[in-house]
Amino acid sequence: MTAAPTSARVVLITGAGGGLGQGLISEFAARGWQVAAASHRPAAQPETDAVWPLTLEVTNRAQVSATVEQILTRWGRLDALINNAGVTADGLLMQMDAADFSRVLDVNLKGAFLCAQAVIRPMMKQRDGHIINLASFAARSGAAGQCNYAAAKAGLIGLTTSLAKEVGSRNVRVNTILPGVLPTPMTAQLNEETLHAFTTANALGRLNEVAEVARFIVFLAEMKNVSGQLFQLDSRVAPWT
């Protein structure tokens, strides 16, 4: 049985165990949202009145569908999906294992597709909802050693613009965020030279912050008249194309 809808808005965040995921959980909860925090590993954080930790493998269609049903059963609504789950498996294309190529596309792109597909029907039924996909500057500029990652993130941009046209008539918005290089466990493994290169590529000479990106995403999730758009949140300047 589906619960009576809560008065608070409800968000599903994938990749909730990562650095940006944790920032998103904190910011959405602070803004009064009910948060379904989904990670592919068992969540370390405790359940609270506002945050419900869930284990989810985004590449598994059955798990994705079951998770969405659980959210609807618990809270009676789903107002936003943040497709934040992502992995990397860097290497030059001529040496890249096919399994690494497939895994990166499966998590970053297919996972977003499966999650979006699962939430579309309830969002269209309630005639309100917002899907926000986390892509990467690599999708715009390319990145040596990241053909798989750049391809997956570029695919997310295409998914965003196409899906926005499909569901806009039911007041469902779809947008993409390029968060920039953030101080998270994923980037902690980068060497000093690489981090310096990322820093100097920014016109402001500094990298972005998790808290600022999280604030922007929550702000965007609450907007009603923006869809099919790409928002870059650092100061790297890409050529017009």
Q: What is the pTM of this model?
A: 0.93
**Residue numbers annotated as active site:** 149
5: in domain = no
- Whose CA is closest to 111, among 153, 160, 67, 59? 59
pLDDT in tens, the chain (241 residues): 456 667 899 999 999 999 999 999 999 999 999 999 999 987 667 899 999 999 999 999 999 999 999 999 999 999 999 999 999 999 999 999 999 999 999 999 999 999 999 999 999 999 999 999 999 999 998 889 899 999 999 999 999 999 999 999 999 999 999 999 987 777 777 778 888 888 899 999 999 999 999 999 999 999 999 999 999 999 999 877 5
Read off the CATH number of the domain in which 65 is found. Answer: 3.40.50.720
- 3-27 burial, b at 16+ Cβ within 10 Å, e below that, comes to eeeeebbbbbbbbbbbbbbbbbbbb
Six-digit token string for 89: 């498996």
Torsion of CA 51, 57, 59, 60, to 10 degrees: -100
Residue 1 in any domain: the answer is no
Distance from chain centroid for Cα 34: 17
Q: What is the b/e burial string over 137-148, where b = at least 16 CB atoms within 10 angstroms of the residue's CB?
A: bbbbeeeeebbb
Whether 116 is in a domain gets the answer yes
Structure token pair of residue 115 = 């999650």
| 129, part of any domain | yes
Burial status of residue 110 (CB atoms within 10 A of its CB: 0-12, 13-18, 19 or more) = middle
Residue 238, in any domain of the structure: no
With respect to residue 189, please indicate whether it lies within any of the assigned structural domains: yes
Tell me which amino acid residue 236 is: R
- How many domains, the chain? 1
Got the DSSP string for 4-33? PPPSS-EEEESSTTSHHHHHHHHHHHHTT-
Question: Where in the sequence is the domain holding 81, given as residue range(s)?
Answer: 10-232
Strand, helix or coil at 171?
coil
Residue 207, in any domain of the structure: yes
| Residue 241, in any domain of the structure | no
